[in-house]
Amino acid sequence: MQNDKPNRDTVHLLARFRDGERAALNELFGRYYDRVLAVVCLRLGPKLRAKVEAHDVAQEVFMSSLQGLGNFVYRNEGDFFHWLCKMVENRIRDQADYFSAQKRDMGREVPLAPRRPSVESLYGPLREFATTTSPATRAARAESTRRLVAAIDTLPPLQREALILVRYEGMSLTEASTHLGRSADAVRMLVARAVVSLGKNLGVTADNGTSGGP
């Protein structure tokens, strides 16, 4: 059987979308939704997680990305995911700023409303991403994610950030070192310590691989 991977990679899907193929957009977002959702869950933190639905943030990120998708410049397979992760950070920062302002003004109790896609709009397929698996599978995945997120919340901030950047956002050690203002070796040690702590917390054998990559 002929390998069709070259026809399904991110670069090819972006090219198909720019040629006007709507199915390519659905496939592109479907390919990345679970990974983006995981990053959202990890980055929300316990306080925001109690006020904001991770699925809402993930869908808002994908919807917002459509505004710049036609002009998005990519050099390799990881660029698109890193771009989405940056949008996640920005959206969560907006949420945090909103609730901080709301706390200062106790008279405002109206929650920040998520921008819902319309059935007839280009964004319509986005709402289906959270319901493409069986209820049992979603429940098992949600419980696994809950345990992982709770364990990562206990890590020291720098370890937590290094772990998210390298193991979940797919940055290389060099990229993460620039982001954190630490050497690549220091980032490697931060990630390794975080993985060991997680292994102990979750009762599993830790995998200390820290090479990153999307």
Residue intervals of the chain classified under CATH 1.10.1740.10 are 1-132
Three-state secondary-structure class, residue 42:
helix
pTM: 0.67
Q: Check residue 2 and give its pLDDT.
A: 44
CATH 1.10.10.10 positions along the chain are 133-206
What is the DSSP annotation of 69-104?
Answer: HTT---SSHHHHHHHHHHHHHHHHHHHHHHHHHHHH
168: its two tokens: 């979940």
CATH 1.10.1740.10 fits 1-132, yes or no: yes
For 44, residues 6+ apart whose C-beta sits below 8 A from its C-beta are 52, 54, 57, 92
pLDDT by position in tens, the chain (length 214): 444 454 457 878 888 888 888 788 788 888 888 888 888 988 887 788 878 888 888 888 888 887 777 777 777 667 888 888 989 988 988 887 777 777 665 554 444 444 443 333 333 444 444 445 566 666 666 677 778 888 888 999 999 999 999 988 888 999 999 999 999 999 999 999 999 998 888 876 445 444 444 3
Report residue 103 as tokens.
């706390």
| Res 106: pLDDT | 53
| pLDDT for 161 | 92
Q: What is the pLDDT of residues 118-154, one digit of tens each?
A: 333 333 444 444 445 566 666 666 677 778 888 888 9
CATH number for the domain formed by residue range(s) 133-206:
1.10.10.10
pLDDT tens by residue, 66-79? 777 777 777 766 78
